[in-house]
Amino acid sequence: MFSNSFALISTNHLIDHYQSKLPDIGHLATWSVSSYKYGFNVDCLRDDDPETFWQSDGPQPHYITLQFHKKVAVQKIAILLKFDQDDSYTPVRLAIRAGMSLNDLQEVRYVGFEKPNEWLDFDVSMDLSDDGTGARPLHCYAIQIMVAANYMNGKDTHIRGLKVLGPHEPQPGAEDTIPYTSLAFQMHECIR
């Protein structure tokens, strides 16, 4: 079902605001974290403020867990890290886990960073799409981001932003009089 892979993502410039053509589906989930310091909780991951951050408080590994109320398609994860400000609190290795519940999570992707100072995004799945132009979305009810290691073996971690992105949604054509969003309806919208 899932394939494991590791990717090293390197960067050397700063971007504070993340923009994507993919829809952010994070609002569909219930978010939780393994631990946090007072004032630096899970809300700091979603507030779109690059000056706030979630800070873990406890032994590694640290976890960010999202539980969706229905099965969703997850295309990418975007994360804001600032090595210049956070130094040994900066994650250098993440493991992504996904599954149908928290009880059957499987590791689907590993990513590594070299002194990141910007929004970084990566595909959750490494399975190629049918046309070979990108990765297939991963369908799941739960996804978990595990901070496996920090720079200089730091204990706690800082993450300044996190977005979970769904796949491109098909746009109705200009000639459509009734813009169906379901593939099943689109298959029957015209007579041959």
The CATH code of the domain that includes 110 is: 2.60.120.260
Show the domain range for 69: 6-187
Residue in 130, 132, 115, 29 with CA at minimum distance from that of residue 77: 29
User: Rounded CA gap, 147 and 178, in Å?
Assistant: 45
From first to last of its 192 residues, the chain has per-residue pLDDT tens of 444 555 555 444 334 456 678 999 999 999 999 999 999 999 999 998 999 999 999 888 999 999 999 999 999 999 999 999 999 999 999 999 999 999 999 999 999 999 999 999 999 987 777 776 778 899 999 999 999 999 999 999 999 999 999 998 765 554 555 666 666 666 666 665
Q: Is residue 1 part of a domain?
A: no
Number of structural domains the chain divides into: 1
Q: Is residue 192 part of a domain?
A: no
Cβ(89)–Cβ(56) under 8 Å?
no
